[in-house]
Amino acid sequence: KSVQPEPSIRIGIIGGGIGGSSCSYFLHELFGAKASIDVYEPSDIGGRIATVDIGGHTYESGASIIHPGNMYMKKFTKEFGLKHKDKIPGQKMGFYDGEKFVFLESDWVIATYAKMLWHYGWDLIKFRREIGVFVEKFSRIYDSQKKGVAYSSVEGIMNTIGGNEVVDYTKVPFLKALKDRGYKDVIIDEMMAIATRVNYGQSVNMSAFAGFVSVAGIQGGLFSVHGGNNQVCSQLLQKSRANIIKSTIKGVKLDTESATPGYYLTIAANENSNSTFHTSERYDIIVIATPLHEGKSNISFEGFPKKITNFPGRFHRTVATFVDGELNTASFGFKNMSGCPNQILTTKDNQFKINSIAHNLPIDCKVGNKESQKPVWKVFSKEPLSEKQLYALFASRKEMKVVDWLAYPHYDPQNSLPKFELHDQLYYINGIEWAASAIEMLIVGSRNTALLAYNKYNGLNDMIDVDFNQKTEL
Ligand SMILES: CC(C)=CCC/C(C)=C/CC/C(C)=C/CSC[C@H](N)C(=O)O
């Protein structure tokens, strides 16, 4: 009978969302039984990919879509025996400019494509091709991670994806990148604007990299996990044999006494995070898997030679209002739902002050089971909806739930990209969100962080910050 060695490395992860859970999985894959992993998450596992219950069904409350080119989410779904959520027919999309629908989907796919081609011309084909190339470039990061390469900064990852061109995408407005490529105003003002508004609540003035990712998020073939994307997080934590601790972390303190790098986590002793009674635990490696920006967390850093405080930029407020009720179709120029789209995406700020209003289906809906297909309306807006706005949008309301959250960074091209490495063995996954926030982006960031910790711990310095564009023979 083989005897398992006692773990000799203690790893603490702050946050049990997709970043924290996938990092736990990758760290376990790399360090094996040598490491014991504690994941601190005071709320539900899943973070921003959690769910909301309404009218007796469960719906995705946050990040809900996965791109078919997202290799890690595809791998995890398969590995954990999860299925894709069924596609239920009858979803009809319309682009609304505040006065009229500038584009309305047809009941037939071919007719919709022909209409789109007529409306947007050659730009539509050009852009589809360009996104394809972009997604292919993105796969270079999977190759470099497979070979064990890690980057200490988000910029290193961008450089691997596409050299200076992609690094620059994080620094120029999407609008400029599109104009430089010769796109006409109609596709920019409608389709590109919709992608940035629906996916990030922002506009084409946001940085180009996040703009490209947002457009990838309105392509065909997108999926989500049957039963909820957050199952991936629970499975990842289970596979990594992590201890899940329901406590709030108040601070990280450098261990200055020991010869080897180490950190103390200050832990709120009970679920009341305001309690003044704290405990402390020492770890060899710490991974922060929660945003550190202003308004998002108040973790303090103590005893570090260089102050860890400066995380410039701000998070963007997104309000998701779920309504079990009837749309006021007259507000959109229709007598009833016949002919009226149930996926209304707005091209610009409008009288309703909404980014989109769309039918949302339960996480476990099934083709052939009508009861499981109960849609609710999900409205995205920048501010909570007033009673007057709700009255204009809905003819009737049975139940309503509001998720008001600081969802994504505000993508100002002036923002600088954070580093993954905050100190010797103190890491920050969510820095990657400042290039673009999506489930897959956080997994890419988390695998990078796990590789960085592993390479550093084992002195594999030649596997850190390798210019993958120059050196592919690794
Ligand atoms: C760089 C490009 C174009 C693709 C790389 C792969 C990638 C990260 C694709 C993600 C596409 C996607 C699902 C975008 C949605 S934006 C964020 C969304 N609202 C969410 O909450 O996840």
Which fold does the domain 86-137+163-224+315-409 belong to in CATH? Polyamine Oxidase; Chain A, domain 2 (3.90.660)
What pLDDT is recorded for position 6?
Answer: 79
> Which tens digit of pLDDT belongs to each residue from 370-420?
999 999 999 999 999 999 999 999 999 999 999 998 899 999 998 889 999
What pLDDT is recorded for position 466?
Answer: 92
Ligand 1 mean position to 213 CA, how many Å? 5
Taking 50 as the pLDDT cut, the residues of the chain under it are none
Ligand 1 mean position to 39 CA, how many Å? 26
End-to-end CA distance of the chain: 38
Mutate to test the pocket of ligand 1, among 48, 64, 65 (most ligand atoms within 8 A of CB): 65
The DSSP secondary structure of 270-281, one letter per residue, reads SS-TT-S-EEEE
Is the confidence metric ipTM above 0.90 for this complex? yes
What pLDDT is recorded for position 369?
Answer: 96
What does the alpha-carbon distance between residue 391 and residue 397 come to, in Å, rounded to a whole number? 9
Q: Which protein residue has the closest C-alpha to ligand 1 atom 5?
A: 135
Q: Where are the domains of the chain?
A: 86-137+163-224+315-409
What pLDDT is recorded for position 463?
Answer: 96
CB atoms inside a 10 Å sphere around CB 188: 16
> Which tens digit of pLDDT belongs to each residue from 170-187?
999 999 999 999 999 999
What pLDDT is recorded for position 473?
Answer: 66
What pLDDT is recorded for position 179?
Answer: 98
Q: Which protein residue has the closest C-alpha to ligand 1 atom 3?
A: 213
- Structural tokens at position 139: 């796969």
Q: Which protein residue has the closest C-alpha to ligand 1 atom 19?
A: 199
Contacts of 142 (CB under 8 A, 6+ apart): 71, 72
What pLDDT is recorded for position 272?
Answer: 56
Ligand 1 atom with the smallest distance to the CA of 161 is 1
**Residue 312: C-alpha distances to residues 253, 267, 418, 431 (Å):** 22, 26, 9, 11
What does the alpha-carbon distance between residue 450 and residue 22 come to, in Å, rounded to a whole number? 9
Ligand 1 atom with the smallest distance to the CA of 437 is 17
Ligand 1 mean position to 307 CA, how many Å? 33
Which residues are near ligand 1 (CB < 6 Å)?
63, 65-67, 69-70, 131, 134-135, 138, 199, 212-214, 216-217, 438-441
What pLDDT is recorded for position 346?
Answer: 98
Ligand 1 atom with the smallest distance to the CA of 407 is 21
